[in-house]
Amino acid sequence: MLKIGMLTSGGDCQALNAAMRGVVKALSHNAEDGVEFYGFLNGYQGMIYGNYRKLTSEDFSGILTRGGTILGTSRTPFKLLDEPTPEGINKVEAMKENYRKLGLDCLVMGGGNGSTKTAHRLSQEGLNVVALPKTIDNDTWGTDMTFGFHSAIEIATKCIDDIHTTASSHGRVFVIEIMGHKVGWIPLHAGIAGGADVILLPEIPYSIDNVIKAIEKRDKNGSRFTIVAVAEGAISVEEASLKRKAYKQRIAERTSPSIAYDIAAEIINRTGREVRVAVPGHTQRGGQPCAYDRVFATQVGVEAARGILDGEFGFMVADKNREIVRVPLDIVAGRLKTVPPDCQLVQEAKLMGISFGDEGVEGAINPILKPRKSKK
């Protein structure tokens, strides 16, 4: 009989339950000698502390449309993985011990970049691990798509859509802050889908002068309002000139709630326009998964099950060129998929007149995204 452990790690998102359901259904229908499932509660913390429960078919009934995760989740930073817990527990050894205590044949982990790095570490330690590409940010290397991304776009786009009516009614400038700390896939897609006039991304440092010019140009053309979609990790050209440490220090010293409020204040001071800020926040990863994510997450779960039945481990399920494939964890772990500043979608948006705040700006790079120098 197969024994499968499951956990969800990092930030939650839509379709985590759908992905686990895909694994369970595919294995339950195809494992010749039967299968048992054990869920570690609250991410890797459950695996470290031995908090788990045996899962039954009832646990996976009616969860296809349910957001969040039935197992709970938490963040276990990879950089702290080799530091003992407050109780002095060796995290890696504890996870290995609990895996073997249950006699597991495989651990199925749904998570993003940091979680996948831990999955790779456990694979290197001798455990059979399969990863599922979960994150609303779509920033996981090795896959064209992650589940949760499309659902987040739908919510962010709906926010921009709804703001349009009040912005046009009052003739206001709206700065809408969209999730995207290090990468801008969500604000890029939602900004275009929602008809934003300015889109500011972490990968493309902006000049506030260019943002002001875009607003003034719309004013001259008779447009009474402007929509500025801002990634939460958007960065100015001046900030991009700083070293990584200095930039982090500046962010730590910020007195405003977020970058959107800083940009709004600049626009008010320099134009005298009436400006409002809207922050959809965690609604972007809450609620029901959209139809696309339900289907994709199910495909991911089924492929994970197929790999387990094949006796193949140490991979992440991925979408490559619209095919569901298996990508080795050592290729995926530790790499971030950012928005290329010259990618086709950005260029198409610029051709439509959308400003990214980088007009005339050359060579500015977000210090957080600059490759680190390898230590000798």
Residues 129 and 314 sit within 8 Å (Cβ to Cβ): yes
Domains 2-147+289-332 and 153-285+339-351 share a fold: yes
Active site residues per annotation: 137
Q: What is the pTM for the complete model shown?
A: 0.94
For position 376, what pLDDT does the model report?
40
Residues 194 and 165 sit within 8 Å (Cβ to Cβ): no
For position 373, what pLDDT does the model report?
59
Task: Show me where the domains of the chain are located.
Answer: 2-147+289-332, 153-285+339-351
How many helices (H) does the chain have, and how many strands (E)? Answer: 13, 11
Distance CA 369, CA 210 (A): 22
Q: What pairs with residue 328 in β-bridges?
A: 315
Please calculate the CA angle 69-179-208 and round it to the nearest 5 degrees: 175
Beta strands in the chain (DSSP E): 2-8, 35-40, 52-55, 106-111, 129-133, 173-178, 198-200, 226-231, 275-278, 315-320, 323-328
Which residues contact residue 306 at a Cβ distance below 8 angstroms, ignoring those fewer than 6 apart?
26
Residues 215 and 226 sit within 8 Å (Cβ to Cβ): yes
Q: What is the pLDDT along the chain (376 residues), one digit of tens a residue?
A: 999 999 999 999 999 999 999 999 999 999 999 999 999 999 999 999 999 999 999 999 999 999 999 999 999 999 999 999 999 999 999 999 999 999 999 999 999 989 999 999 999 999 999 999 999 999 999 999 999 999 999 999 999 999 999 999 999 999 999 999 999 999 999 999 999 999 999 999 999 999 999 999 999 999 999 999 999 999 999 999 999 999 999 889 889 999 999 999 999 999 999 999 999 999 999 999 999 999 999 999 999 999 999 999 999 999 999 999 999 999 999 899 999 999 999 999 999 999 999 998 888 899 989 776 544 4
Distance CA 80, CA 210 (A): 41
Distance CA 327, CA 292 (A): 22
Which residues contact residue 359 at a Cβ distance below 8 angstroms, ignoring those fewer than 6 apart?
207, 210, 213
Please calculate the CA angle 230-234-235 and round it to the nearest 5 degrees: 140
- Assigned fold of 153-285+339-351: Rossmann fold (3.40.50)
Residues 259 and 226 sit within 8 Å (Cβ to Cβ): no
CATH number of 2-147+289-332: 3.40.50.450
